[in-house]
Amino acid sequence: MSRARHKRRPVRFRRLVLPVAGAGAAAGAAVGATMLTSEPAPLAAVAPVSPAPSDIDELREEAAGGPARGDDGGPSPLAGAGTATTAPSPSPTAAPVTPTPTPTPSPTGFPPVAGCDATLPGDDVANGELGDEHLCAIGSGQRLRPDAAASFVALDAFYRAETGEGLIECVTDSYRSYEAQVDVADRKPGLAAEPGTSEHGWGLAVDVGCGANSFDGALYDWLDDNADEFGWENPDWARPGGSTPEPWHWEFTPAS
């Protein structure tokens, strides 16, 4: 008995549609779509997460001490136990140093000689009888009463500012006691003032060397141009044509 051959028909798949309504229909459609597609569903965007630093405390300390903090560089509260602190007040700015100006010529108001607290002699003090309490040292072993000393030190500073040299070092004589005036009068008869009448005896006169002992000397010219603004002058009797020309002799005129 012969066998009849049967052809195998290809299997066909029919799309199965489920008749659902409302929200269920939408859900069913979504399920069907998911089952029939081979592509994976898109993933929602997720913000990248930075890896944790290896040493958080170290980074906090660097941030706390950075220049951007704007304070005195003290540690941030983050670097300590977490307790807030109050930044210290900034230190007050030091006042700028004002340079000492060159003395302004004036017969009064000069600063007193440093380290000297002498006072002016009273009416009870005679010429040539001034004590240490009435005299200030001006250098080179010379002394003057306080106001004359202050003005001459200022004159010396003015001279140094203009020439770079000292004037006080050129003084050869200043205050003379009564006994010293007697000695000068004995050695220079007719030239020295009578004892008890000299301005040296009041601590108000100096004799200056360094070329000032000549009317043609450069220092005499400088003193003649500037000394009177500090209260000093070569008096008329000592000037050229005077009764006793002495270019080296200069006297201070007190303000009162």
Whether 82 maps to a domain, the answer reads no
Whether 107 maps to a domain, the answer reads no
Whether 8 maps to a domain, the answer reads no
Whether 171 maps to a domain, the answer reads yes
pLDDT for position 41: 47
Is residue 101 pLDDT above 70, yes or no? no
Q: How confident is the model at residue 109 (pLDDT cuts 50, 70, 90)?
A: confident
pLDDT for position 228: 96
Mean pLDDT, range 225-247, rounded to an integer: 96
Q: Characterise 113 by phi-psi region: left (phi > 0), alpha (psi -120 to 50), beta (else).
A: beta
Whether 210 maps to a domain, the answer reads yes
Whether 178 maps to a domain, the answer reads yes
Q: Give CA–CA dist 156/140, Å, rounded.
A: 13
| Helix ranges, 37-145 (H) | 56-64
Instruction: For the chain, give the mean pLDDT.
Output: 74
**Residue 222 maps to which CATH number?**
3.30.1380.10
Whether 4 maps to a domain, the answer reads no
CB-count burial class (<10 Å; 0-12, 13-18, 19+) for 172: middle
Note the pTM of the prediction, 2 decimals: 0.58
Q: State the residue range of the domain holding 212.
A: 132-252
Whether 207 maps to a domain, the answer reads yes
What pLDDT digit, counting tens, does each position of 122-157 carry? 999 999 999 999 999 998 899 999 999 999 999 999
Q: How confident is the model at residue 24 (pLDDT cuts 50, 70, 90)?
A: very low
Mean pLDDT, range 37-48, rounded to an integer: 46
Q: How confident is the model at residue 58 (pLDDT cuts 50, 70, 90)?
A: low
